[in-house]
């Protein structure tokens, strides 16, 4: 009765509020609760002035917390019916399975290999606009690298390799058996490395839903489960295990083993390169070291027990490094330093959590160690939009800078450059051979001392426009592809919103003119030409590269909002990071191992102590190694103001 009486009052209230809200969000607000409407107003007001990243840290965190809440309520969309399964029983399955099943406590199939990609916003059918404008025109005129733009000292080639290492852990689309061919239009044909190329369509599978009638299938496990090392099925797992003391296979030289065809043996080697293989080798060493430590603590642990516990520990170390080390370097601001550490430790911080355990909910105690996993009422998956914003191939340079680790470094711990190797020789089977010739130490040190490319227009590697793609087993396909053009096509094919609709879907104010996107006059001129001076036609990938960056951010704000939602979701929806992040599941030694690891530098020092001592000057292994270490800041982080 009361709710009926209040309904007209709410309607009038919301109608009045619309005067202060961008017209594109009027319908959205009508669907919101009164509380969420009020929270939206706060975020929207701050966005109008574009100042959230300029606020004091504590206010910036409040803004992000409110925004994350709104996205958790309105930007998690399930795609596809989940097969009726059984509730998982921790007593029977206190470990991560090969295919990702039995993590969700209510349904075995959630997050398993072969489950659907979810959505963060409604689909935009572009079946009649797949070639508008032509992907090869977009790639040639707006993406193709003219001259390398790098990230300075902020981000190195280990950081660039790391995100590819993570992609191989999380996402890959099931392909159709039907091929598509793109042909370069005459206006750009002379500038395209390939005049035409063929590729397999993304497989569209019926969902059983009325609105999203079809969806895409993830052939990797979307959990943070280290499947880049272990694989996403029992067959691959069988290839990488030694079946002795729980360990994984690794070559005597500290790099990956290879089969008779020269294909690397690891969890996921499709479309890979030497940088990813090096990180796989490093974390195989980590897994095997965990096995040794656990065996030393308990001699009764058998091969299967050691493997399962070590997989839990190693996966958690990877997740922690990504959360409080890699992401902090990617989004180099005090607000995000506080925010990412808050995701893991909570506002009370590491010292409090180490002493007293998880206290309070997600805000005070962090997402890791919550009493129960939280999927916000939507079965866990990674999303099509998440896939889209992780298109970061401009991070790759044109050449790999090989360093000489046989001589003493200079005062900045920088070893001399002895060779520049074309990146085309560092990918696939060629890259595996080059890795063997260089060795693990030289590879890691060289990547540490080389800046990555920047995520900008005209910075997409040209060598990726004539690329040998791989089958699912890591073997070369006969058809080369233009990856820049293919990525434009993929977003359209998968019904991902174009840039302005993407922003609307994330409650970000859309651009009304090109000058809202970029200050680069040449870029504006070319954007007008390619997109017929219509900002609504702008592709999401181009928009993310063109968008003005927040100071300290290596990515766009638009991409960051997806990160804000999904980085938290990967932790809070996983029982092995929440209800079962404990000694009973991980073992006492295993949990200590995770809790004492704070960075990739810690991992490197465990296995190659001389590397960081001799060649790493920087505070993080993800920034260029000859850069000075971070200056200590005596001001408590929550009291800091942006620089």
- How far apart, in Å, are the Cα atoms of 393 and each of 1, 407, 436, 541? 57, 32, 24, 11
- How far apart, in Å, are the Cα atoms of 315 and each of 38, 366, 416, 425? 39, 18, 35, 30
**Residue with the two structure tokens 């309520």:** 73
**Residue with the two structure tokens 């919301």:** 14
Nearest one of 390, 398, 406 to 439, comparing CA atoms: 406
Tokens of 257: 């083993």
Q: Taking the chain, what is the end-to-end CA distance rounded to the nearest angstrom? A: 53
Please state the φ and ψ torsions of residue 260, each to the nearest 5 degrees: -65, -20
Per DSSP, the three-state class of 283 is: helix
Tally DSSP H helices, then E strands, for the chain: 27, 8
Per DSSP, the three-state class of 17 is: helix
Peptide bond into 455 cis (omega under 30): no
Please state the φ and ψ torsions of residue 140, each to the nearest 5 degrees: -75, -45
Strand bridging mode 417-422 / 399-403: antiparallel
Strand bridging mode 175-183 / 399-403: unpaired
Tokens of 223: 């959990």
Longest dimension (CA), the chain: 82
In angstroms, the CA 643 to CA 162 distance is 28
Is 411 known as a binding-site position?
A: no
17 with 41: CB under 8 angstroms? yes
- How far apart, in Å, are the Cα atoms of 163 and each of 93, 273, 510, 623? 30, 12, 28, 14
DSSP state of 273: B
In angstroms, the CA 218 to CA 225 distance is 15
Tokens of 594: 């995770």
Helix axes 274-297, 440-448, angle to 10 degrees: 110
CB neighbours of residue 76 within 10 Å: 22
Of 44, 168, 358, 449, which is the active-site residue? Answer: 168
Per DSSP, the three-state class of 241 is: strand
**Residue with the two structure tokens 């009926």:** 4
Whether residue 44 lies in the annotated active site: no
In angstroms, the CA 617 to CA 632 distance is 15
Nearest one of 76, 187, 86 to 138, comparing CA atoms: 187
CB neighbours of residue 15 within 10 Å: 12
> Environment class of residue 229 by beta-carbon count within 10 Å: exposed (0-12), middle (13-18) or buried (19+)?
buried
Catalytic residues: 168
Q: Which residues are annotated as a binding site for heme b?
A: 393
State the binding site.
Answer: 393
């Amino acid at each position: 009765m009361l709710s009926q009486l209040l309904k007209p009052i709410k309607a009038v209230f919301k109608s009045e509020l619309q005067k202060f809200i961008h017209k594109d969000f009027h319908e959205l607000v009508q669907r919101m609760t009164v509380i969420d409407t009020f929270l939206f107003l706060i975020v929207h007001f701050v966005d109008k002035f574009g100042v959230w990243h300029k606020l004091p840290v504590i206010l910036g965190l409040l803004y992000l917390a409110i925004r994350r809440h709104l996205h958790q309520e309105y930007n998690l969309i399930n795609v596809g019916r989940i097969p009726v399964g059984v509730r998982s029983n921790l007593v029977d399955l206190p470990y991560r399975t090969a295919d990702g099943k039995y993590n969700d406590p209510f349904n075995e199939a959630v997050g398993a290999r072969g489950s659907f990609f979810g959505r963060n916003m409604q689909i935009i059918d572009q079946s009649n606009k797949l070639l508008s404008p032509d992907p090869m025109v977009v790639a040639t005129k707006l993406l193709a690298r003219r001259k390398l733009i790098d990230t300075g000292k902020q981000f190195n080639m280990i950081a660039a390799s790391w995100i590819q290492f993570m992609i191989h852990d999380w996402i890959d689309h099931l392909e159709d058996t039907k091929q598509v061919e793109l042909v370069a239009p005459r206006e750009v044909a002379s500038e395209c490395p390939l005049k035409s190329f063929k590729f397999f369509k993304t497989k569209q599978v019926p969902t059983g839903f009325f609105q999203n009638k079809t969806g895409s299938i993830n052939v990797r496990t979307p959990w943070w489960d280290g499947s880049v090392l272990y694989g996403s099925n029992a067959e691959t797992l069988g290839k990488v295990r030694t079946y002795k003391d729980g360990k994984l296979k690794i070559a005597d030289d500290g790099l990956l083993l290879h089969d008779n065809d020269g294909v690397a043996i690891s969890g996921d080697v499709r479309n890979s390169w030497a940088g990813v293989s090096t990180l796989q080798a490093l974390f195989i060493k980590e897994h095997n070291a965990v096995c040794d430590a656990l065996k030393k603590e308990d001699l009764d642990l058998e091969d299967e027990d050691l493997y399962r516990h070590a997989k839990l520990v190693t996966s958690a170390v990877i997740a922690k490094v990504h959360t409080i080390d890699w992401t902090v370097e990617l989004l180099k601001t005090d607000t995000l330093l506080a925010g990412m550490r808050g995701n893991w430790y909570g506002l009370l911080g590491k010292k409090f959590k180490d002493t007293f355990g998880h206290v309070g909910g997600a805000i005070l105690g962090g997402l890791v160690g919550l009493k129960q996993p939280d999927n916000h009422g939507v079965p866990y998956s990674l999303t099509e939009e998440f896939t889209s914003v992780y298109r970061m191939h401009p991070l790759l340079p044109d050449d790999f800078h090989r360093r000489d680790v046989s001589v003493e470094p200079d005062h900045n711990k920088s070893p001399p450059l002895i060779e520049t190797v074309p990146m085309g020789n560092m990918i696939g089977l060629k890259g595996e051979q080059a890795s063997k010739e260089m060795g693990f130490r030289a590879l890691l040190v060289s990547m540490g001392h080389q800046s990555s490319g920047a995520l900008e227009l005209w910075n997409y590697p040209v060598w990726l426009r004539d690329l040998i793609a791989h089958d699912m087993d890591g073997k070369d396909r006969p058809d080369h592809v233009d990856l820049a053009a293919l990525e434009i096509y993929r977003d359209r094919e998968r019904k991902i919103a174009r840039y302005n609709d993407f922003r609307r879907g994330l409650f970000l104010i859309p651009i009304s003119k090109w000058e809202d996107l970029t200050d680069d006059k040449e870029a504006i001129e070319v954007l007008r030409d390619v997109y017929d001076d219509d900002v609504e036609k702008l592709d999401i990938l181009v928009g993310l590269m063109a968008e003005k960056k927040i100071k300290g951010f290596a990515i766009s704000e638009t991409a960051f909002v997806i990160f804000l939602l999904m980085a938290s979701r990967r932790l809070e929806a996983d029982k092995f990071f929440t209800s079962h992040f404990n000694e009973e599941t991980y073992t006492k030694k295993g949990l200590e191992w995770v809790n004492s690891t704070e960075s990739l530098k810690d991992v490197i020092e465990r296995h190659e102590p001389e590397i960081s001592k001799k060649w790493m000057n920087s505070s993080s292994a993800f920034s260029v190694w000859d850069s000075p270490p971070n200056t200590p800041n005596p001001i408590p982080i929550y009291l800091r103001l942006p620089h």
